[in-house]
Amino acid sequence: MSVAVPDILFLLLRVALRGDERECSQAKTVDWDMVDWQGVYDLAKSQGVAAIAFDGVVTLHKHSPNLELRVPRLLKMRWVAISDSIEKNSDRQFVRSAELASLYGAEGIDVYVLKGFALSDYYPIPKHRECGDLDCFLGEDYERGNVLAEQNGADVSRGFYKHSHIEFRGLTVENHQFCTAIRGARRRKRFERHLQGLLKEATPEYISGTKLIRPSADFNALFLTAHSFGHFLTEGIKIRHILDWALLVQAEQTRIDWEEFYRQCDAMGYTRFAEALTAIAVEYLGFKFTNPAIRQRSAYAKRVLNDILYYGHVLHTSHYSKLRKRFLIVEYNLRGAWKYHKLYGRSVLFEVARATWALCFERHPKL
**Tens-digit pLDDT profile for residues 93-148:** 999 999 999 999 999 999 999 999 999 999 999 999 998 899 999 999 999 999 99
**Sheet arrangement for strand 171-176:** 155-157, 163-168, 171-176, 134-137, 111-113, 212-214, 205-206
Give the model's pLDDT for residue 352.
Answer: 82
Pairing state between β 212-214 and 155-157: unpaired
For residue 7, pLDDT beyond 80: yes
The 10 Å Cβ neighbour count of residue 104 is 22
Give the model's pLDDT for residue 62.
Answer: 86
Q: Per-residue pLDDT averaged across 84-89, rounded?
A: 97
Give the model's pLDDT for residue 110.
Answer: 97
CB 129 within 8 A of CB 119: yes
For residue 265, pLDDT beyond 90: yes
The proportion of the chain whose per-residue pLDDT surpasses 70, expressed as a percent, equals 94
pLDDT band at residue 151 under the 50/70/90 scheme = very high
For residue 42, pLDDT beyond 70: yes
* CA pair distance 361, 260, nearest whole angstrom: 33
* Cross-strand partners of 87: none
* CA pair distance 71, 80, nearest whole angstrom: 12
Higher pLDDT pick, 177 / 332:
177
pLDDT band at residue 349 under the 50/70/90 scheme = confident
* CA pair distance 90, 95, nearest whole angstrom: 9
Cite the DSSP H helix spans in 202-292.
217-234, 239-252, 258-268, 271-283
Q: Per-residue pLDDT averaged across 3-15, rounded?
A: 95
pLDDT band at residue 53 under the 50/70/90 scheme = very high
pTM of the model: 0.93
Residue 171 falls in which region: left (phi positive, over 0), alpha (psi -120 to 50) or beta: beta
* CA pair distance 102, 118, nearest whole angstrom: 17
Residue 95 falls in which region: left (phi positive, over 0), alpha (psi -120 to 50) or beta: alpha
